[in-house]
Amino acid sequence: MSTAAVTPPPPQAAPQGLTLVSAAPAAKAKSAVLMEVVVNRDALLAEVAAAQGITSSRTTIPILSNLLIEAQDGFLKISASNIEQTLTTKAPATVKKAGVATVPARKLYDYLKLLPAGDISIKLLDNDWIRIQAARSNTKMVGMARDSYPAIPTIGSLTKVTLPTTTLRSLIAHTISAVSMEESRYTLTASLLLLEPTKVSMVSTDGTRLALAEKDEALEGVTAPRKLLVPYQALHNLASLLASTKSETVEIAESDTTLFVVIGEREYTSRKKAGAFPNYAAVMPRSNNNVVILRTVDVERSVRRVAQFTDQRSSGVKLALGANALKISASTTESGESEDTIDCPYASEQILIKLNSDFILDFCKVVGSLGEVRFSFKDGRSAAVLEPEAANRDIRFTLVLMPMRF
C-alpha cells in the first residue's frame, strides 16, 4: 500500500504591523547576595558549639532558637540569646560582602559537624535564606529577619576585675552542686561570688548543705569586697565556656542589671539576681571538735556501696563513729540492708549521725579520690563539716552538711 508524502502547510503570514518572535525559555531570576563570607569550618564549629548552648529551643519566641551572625572587619561575629543570658563570639573570616543574618542554631551546629575540614562559604540570599557551600555540598537553610532579634548587652567601659581562668573554673566546680533548684528560694538559686583585695570566694547553699571554696588571689583594682550573685544557669554556661577556652584569664564586670564575663574573644552576659545572699559566715560550725581523717577513696567506695540500700527519696546513710572505726550503714524494707566499716584512728566521743549520701559523693568527686578527707562533728544533732586534708591545695574547700532525721 503506497503512502502519500505529507507536506507541511506553508507558514502563515503575520498580520500587518506585527512581528513573530520564536518562543524561548524564561531566564531564572538570580537571588541577590546580601552577605557573603568565607570561614574555616573548624573555627566556625568551635564558636557555634559554644553559642548554640545559650539559645533556647523551648521558647515561645522563635527568633531565640537562632544565632545572629554578622560579617564584618575580617571576622564572623556570632551572637546567641535566651533573654536571660547572651554570648557573643568571633571566628576569623574573609568577608566578601558585609551583612547580618540569623540562622537556626541547632540545625547549623548539626550540619557543620558533618562537613569536611576546610573553608566554607556562607551567603545571605533574598527572603532570609542562608546558603552554605563546602566542597561538593550545597545547602540552603531558612533564616529569619534579624529585626526582631533582641539587643545584645556590651561591656563597654565598665570597670573589670581580672581572674585566672583556672581559679574561676575551680570555684564553680566546687560549689555548683550545692545551688538550690527550688525557684521559691530565689537567692539560693545562685552562688555568691565574693571578690576581695587578696582573696576570691564562692559559696552556695540549698538550705541542707553549704559549699564554700576560697582561693588567695591578689585582685588588682579591688579595694573593698564586692559581692555578685551568679545564677545557676550562668554557672552552668560558664563551666562549659571555661573548659573549652585557651585564654588564661577572664574579666568580670557588672552593671545595675547585668553580669559580664569576658573569656578570650567570647563575651558572656547574665541578668543579675536581685536580693541578698544569706549570711553564710554566721552558720559555719565553730565547735566541731570530734575529728576523724579518712582516705577519700575509702569513703567514696563505702558510701557508694551502702547507698544502694537507702531510701531513694532521702538517700540517707548512718555514720557511727566509735573507737578506731567508722561504720556506714543503710536499710530499707524494699531493698534490704548494708554496712561498711572503715578502720581509722579515733578515740574521742562516739557520734551517730545520718547524712545525705549524694552530698558525700559529690564532695568526693570534687576533691578527687587521691588524698584524705577530714570529717568533723560536734554531735549527732549538729551540722557536720567535710574538708580535704591537704595543706597545699590550691582551693580551700569546706562542705557543711545538716543532719537528717533517723
pTM for this model (two decimals)? 0.88
Give the pLDDT of residue 12.
Answer: 52
Query: Given its phi and psi angles, is residue 163 left (phi above 0), alpha (psi -120 to 50 degrees) or beta?
Result: beta
Give the pLDDT of residue 18.
Answer: 41
Q: Is the pLDDT of residue 5 over 50?
A: no
Please tell me the CATH superfamily of domain 161-280, with its number. Answer: DNA Polymerase III, subunit A, domain 2 (3.10.150.10)
Tell me which H or E stretch contains 115: none
CATH 3.10.150.10 boundaries in the chain: 35-148, 161-280, 285-401
C-alpha cell belonging to residue 306: 551502702
Q: Is the pLDDT of residue 275 over 90?
A: no
Topology annotation, domain 35-148: DNA Polymerase III; Chain A, domain 2 (3.10.150)
Smallest CA-to-CA distance from 41 within 166, 150, 128, 133 is with 133
| pLDDT tens readout for residues 152-162 | 999 999 999 99
Average pLDDT of the chain is 91
Topology annotation, domain 285-401: DNA Polymerase III; Chain A, domain 2 (3.10.150)
Give the pLDDT of residue 8.
Answer: 52
Q: Is the pLDDT of residue 381 over 90?
A: yes
pLDDT band at 22 (very low <50, low <70, confident <90, very high): very low
Q: Is the pLDDT of residue 23 over 90?
A: no
Give the pLDDT of residue 29.
Answer: 56
| pLDDT tens readout for residues 197-225 | 999 999 999 999 999 999 999 998 899 99
What does the DSSP assignment read for 335-373? TEEEEEEEE----S--EEEEEEHHHHHHHHHHH-SSSEE
